[in-house]
Chain A
Amino acid sequence: MAVFDTTEPQTAGAGADRAWWERIPAAWWALLALLVVLPAFANDFVLFQVMGWTFILGMIALSLMFLAGYGGMVSLIQMSVAALAGYMVAIFGTSGMAELSMGLPWWVYIPVAIVIAAIFGTIVGALAVRTEGIYTIMITLAIASAFFYFTRQNYAIFNGYSGFNLVVPPQLFGVDWRQPVPFYYLTGAMALVCYLAVIYVSRAPFGLVLQGIRDNPRRMAALGYNVTAHRIAAYTFASVIAALGGILLVWQNAQIAPGTAGIPAVIDILVIAVIGGIGRPIGPFIGALIYVLLRTFSPDVLTAIGFEGERFKLLVGLGFLALVFWSPDGVLGMWDRWRAGRARAGDPLTGKGGQ
């Protein structure tokens, strides 16, 4: 439950006396500072495409991490929830499909999109929580593919195969939020908010109960907790995070179509969460960064070492395979083992020399 994963071993008493900013290790402040000043030396492509996409995918994968890591429920519906929120932004807001979009102001369509996506996620959750393990995966995958085919066939609401184009963020406070630097800060700030929210909830009574349910649902039920209600509520909370990611995703692409939540995209979210590690909330963001880097640059790497660029999927697949093979609990697991190894490296007799 060391959610912040403080790197220095410390006693509980010492930690309690310090101010909250002192309890967060310096490395985290350094990372935050690095992210804040990144626009000074990274180009637009890195800001908008690489980092923006990382934050967005990280948020959607974070919602899966919350369900899987704290609730023990592997849900494949998170991408569909995100896409539904994106669709709602296109339908209630403005898009190139003027006859289908209602053109409401942003302070109406953003909350509406989040609420509708949360309701959808909650309904799916209510169906899924009565199942365990692989059956949860199956039922959520089934609903996700139903969502994909429905959006592709439905022309009255979702505009079928073509979807919606020209969906752009509102010009708020005189800023064009789709410019690389504003968009970078927008996605980064939203990712940070979601990250902190997940940390907060995981330490709040609700999150502790959820983790208890993950470890032993029968005992929690015996203690008087409503297991089903807690699990459904977890879906609702995760859906809100996924919805925020979905809204940012539709703004980044400026369009949404059924392929956005196609089966490959649904699986990609799972892959991202697994690669990063579902033990802690930072995992999905690490996974997303690795995924985005591989997706973006593997054709260049292949061409650079003399292979045909069209085999880029090979590199992506091999990368993921290697990671899962050597570290089933993702990059986070690797990091934990490395740290544990360092700590043990001391002299067994004197105890000196270790960390």
Chain B
Amino acid sequence: MRKAFLATAMAAAVALPTAAMAQDDTIKLGVLVALEGAFAEGGKDSVRNVELALQQHDFMAGGKTIEYVVAPSDTTPDTAVRQARKLIEQDGVDIIIGPLSGSEGIAMRDYAKTIPDKTVINGISGALETTWVDPADNFFRFNLDGAQWGAGLGTYVVEEKGWDRVATVAADYSFGYTNFLGFAVDFCRAGGEIVERFWVPLGSSDFGGVIAAMPDDIDAIYLGVGGTDAINFLNQYRQAGADTNLIGGTIMADQTVLTSRGRAKQALIGTPTSGALAEDNPDPAWQDYVQAYQDAFPEDERFPTPSLFGVGYYIATLAAIEALNQVDGDLGNGQQAFQEALANLSLETPLGTVELNENRQASGTVYINEVQEGPDGNLVNVMVGKKEGVNQTLGMTPEEFRAMGLPSRDTPDCEALAASAG
């Protein structure tokens, strides 16, 4: 009887998924996205945006019908690879769109090498290493990485704000390092000086020690933490009576912080940040996209404007559709023609034109925003500038960039950068 139970379970395992291998006139997309954990809301927005991009093209590309399967992950690399394997081996998808978070991206880069005749288009994961260290030939990333998102901010604070001595407080993990590196490279080359670096564990609640140790003679504090960590820091910072200027990392001044309760967030007014998008970007491509997003979903089932995660998946889906159109849906011969089309794509996106480099990593625009008080007293991000054509090596030669080292607590070396730029 136990045998019968096991046999039934196994039969279920074999038979359950509607063994839908892609037919000749159908192309299957697998959407690998975090639907559990800290990014679950962003993950849901990602699925909406894939749907939106496909709707806009009537679920057709290259003369073939496009279907998609969602594989939920929980932001751990283990689960991401498991789910990717399920998409490829069980659901029989042709193209994977995803993943969402940094360490998943690195794991997917390695997994992609084991499936050379399939294609992975990154969702929104932003680890530098994914397309910089030993990249996979069939892994394409149409969003900027975490370091690129920091570019432009340093020049802006030095030249527009006149802040050239900063202390930094950033999250002690890979995205914290990477995003900080983008800011620091730009900042140091523009003549700024980093007086002291503080690294705080992800999920910190006590910043008292950091705030007490903060040097006095600084123009601003770079704050590379996000979510509840940022709110905790701002609360304690205010209570300590400190009122230095702030500079924000990419995830610092997002909606979770701006809409938090309490007065601590008032400290944020006038804080510049940089990132992949600006909500009030006047560019018609962005405005049209936001309009389409708002029209496609009822107000209580979406964010007011598309989230960073959503935009990433939207652009990745656009890239897949565009490349499929160019090759007339031909995925034969190990998807060679398709992958070549992707690599040479010059993609018009809501965030401007995106092109890939030899590592299949996007170069594009970084937006500089500043937190301001809106008409009804709440805080909003206002676009104050943008830097176009930011590439993977942040304007350096690949040799210089490689010599600087991978992002870590002590990389980049600010003085060396200032010397080489000066």
Contacts and interface: CB of A to CB of B under 8 A. Distances in A.
A27 B3 contact: yes
B402 to A, nearest CB: 15
A261 B377 CA distance: 44
B74 interface: yes
B47 A259 contact: no
Interface stretch (A13-21, A226-234, A292-300, A344-352): A292-300
Interface string A43-58: 1111011100100000
A313 B36 contact: yes
Contacts of B44: 310
A264 B37 CA distance: 10
* A31, A45, A46, A282 — most chain B CB neighbours (10 Å): A45
B81 interface: yes
A327 interface: no
Contacts of A304: 18
Contact of B173 (A161, A166, A256, A303): A161
B9 A310 contact: no
A264 B6 contact: no
Interface stretch (B82-90, B259-267, B283-291): B82-90
Interface in A304-330: 304, 309-310, 312-313
Nearest to A180: B89
* A153, A165, A304 — most chain B CB neighbours (10 Å): A165
A96 to B, nearest CB: 7
Contact of A43 (B14, B74, B82, B201): B14
Contacts of B292: none
B6 A49 contact: no
A339 B36 CA distance: 40
B89 A162 contact: no
A335 B14 contact: no
Contacts of A254: 81, 110-111
A66 B86 CA distance: 32
Nearest to A41: B14
B3 A30 contact: yes
B74 A264 contact: yes
Contacts of A286: 5-6
A169 interface: no
A223 interface: no
Nearest to A53: B82
Interface string A223-259: 0000000000000000000000000000001111101
Interface string B146-185: 0000000000000000000000000011100000000000
Contacts of A259: 74-79, 103
A121 B129 CA distance: 34
* A41, A44, A290, A309 — most chain B CB neighbours (10 Å): A309
Contacts of B86: 45, 49, 296
* A259, A301, A331, A339 — most chain B CB neighbours (10 Å): A259
A42 interface: yes
Interface residues of A, number: 54
A34 interface: yes
A147 B243 CA distance: 38
A141 B111 CA distance: 32
A148 to B, nearest CB: 11
Interface residues of B, number: 47
B76 A299 contact: no
A36 to B, nearest CB: 13
A309 B72 contact: yes
A317 B321 CA distance: 37
A155 B134 CA distance: 21
B147 to A, nearest CB: 15
Contact of A153 (B76, B89, B110, B201): B201
Interface in B1-20: 1-3, 5-7, 9-10, 12-14, 16-18
Contacts of B85: 45, 48-49
A309 B110 contact: no
A44 B245 CA distance: 57
A309 B75 CA distance: 17
A162 B174 contact: yes
B16 A289 contact: no
A297 B9 contact: no
A38 B35 contact: no
Contact of A310 (B70, B81, B103, B201): B70
Contacts of B71: 299
A335 B5 CA distance: 10
Given A152-B173, A289-B9, A297-B17, A162 B106 contact: yes
Interface in B50-74: 70-72, 74
Contacts of A297: 12-13, 16-17
Given A38-B10, A262-B76, A310-B70, A162 B103 contact: yes
Contacts of B89: 43-45, 48-49
Contacts of A290: 9
Contacts of A152: 173, 201-202
Contacts of B17: 297, 300
Interface in B71-119: 71-72, 74-79, 81-82, 85-86, 89-90, 103, 106-107, 110-111
B172 to A, nearest CB: 7
B70 A309 contact: yes
A333 interface: no
Given A299-B72, A335-B5, 18 more contacts: A27-B1, A31-B3, A34-B10, A42-B10, A45-B86, A45-B89, A48-B85, A49-B86, A53-B82, A155-B408, A253-B78, A253-B82, A255-B110, A282-B2, A297-B13, A301-B16, A310-B72, A335-B1
26 contacts: A34-B7, A38-B10, A41-B14, A42-B13, A45-B85, A45-B86, A46-B10, A46-B13, A48-B89, A49-B85, A49-B89, A53-B82, A152-B201, A155-B408, A255-B78, A256-B78, A257-B76, A257-B103, A259-B76, A289-B9, A296-B86, A297-B13, A299-B71, A300-B18, A301-B16, A335-B2
10 A-B pairs with the lowest CB-CB distances in the bound complex, closest first: A259-B76, A45-B89, A161-B173, A45-B90, A310-B35, A31-B3, A309-B70, A297-B16, A253-B78, A27-B3
